[in-house]
Amino acid sequence: MRANELRSLTAASFDLDSPEPTVNVTAGYSKRRRDDDQPLRPQTAAELRAFLAGKLPTARVFKVPHRTADMLRADLATARTAWIAKAGTGQERREREDSTFLAYADAAGNVADFHSLRHAFITALADAGVHPKQAQELARHSTITLTMDHYTHTRRGKLAADLDRLPDLSGPGPEQERQRATGTADATARPDSVLPECLPIRSTKPFNSQQRDALPENQTAVCMSADNRPDSVEKRPLSTPAAIESELGRAGFEPATHGFSVRCSTN
């Protein structure tokens, strides 16, 4: 939450006993001027339940200073001092002292101000695979552009890991063999069949005799280009589009989609 929103919260703002605990920010303090119910994780709700025990409903919950940067700077300095003190060896201590871990500002001049916590929260949602629209709702932003372009940050190591999720196309494998059967009825591809390289798409204009005569012997046009010329051929003696469509149906393909004269699918 934003600093002003935190300052506005009272004990009555929290609903911690429902199956889905929430905290409410009233329209007068919400940046988008509407009542917002923010969901809370069960672990957070459990800690807040203990923290709020004995407080009056109207009591302010958090004492957030107006200079939040001073608060963060002091907290980080305390945490950094404790972290350096836990170094096991002199070498490790020197390495920790030379690093910018838990420092208010890093070597690039980036500072850990209070609002950066929102950036970290939304970026963590993206790293966890949360849908952008849901991240927008959790961030309580008015537009998805604000969420994705300004508050979601990419990490170099994360980008490299994302590339590793792509399939390996360097050679045929069991998965590619299974994908040869492309029908929705889970049909098994016949190993002795020579499947076409391009599915037939019915053209609004039939082949003319010159186009058919120009095809090599024992081959039939499968796809049409924008100017109604054969785009590829099916290497079996199928003479008509209806015959091609019938044969492909028996091989486990979906029926042809009509009306897309310049498109074709690959097996």
Residues 154-208 pLDDT 10s = 776 677 777 787 887 776 665 555 655 555 445 554 544 444 444 444 444 555 5
In the chain, % of residues over pLDDT 90: 31
Any alpha helices (H) in the chain, and if so which ranges? Answer: 3-8, 42-51, 68-85, 90-98, 116-127, 132-139, 144-145, 156-163, 174-178, 209-214, 241-250
* Domain segments of the chain as ranges: 3-51, 68-160, 194-267
What does the pLDDT read at residue 211? Answer: 58
The SS3 assignment for 42 reads helix
Q: Whole-number mean pLDDT of the chain?
A: 75
- Pick the range with the lowest mean pLDDT from 57-61, 196-200, 222-226, 262-266: 196-200
State the pTM of this model: 0.53
Sequence-distant (6+) residues with CB within 8 A of 193 are: 251
50-61 pLDDT, tens digit per residue, is 999 989 999 999
Name residue, tokens 């186009």: 211
Sequence-distant (6+) residues with CB within 8 A of 257 are: 201
Query: How many distinct helices (H) and strands (E) make up the chain?
Result: 11, 5
Sequence-distant (6+) residues with CB within 8 A of 145 are: none
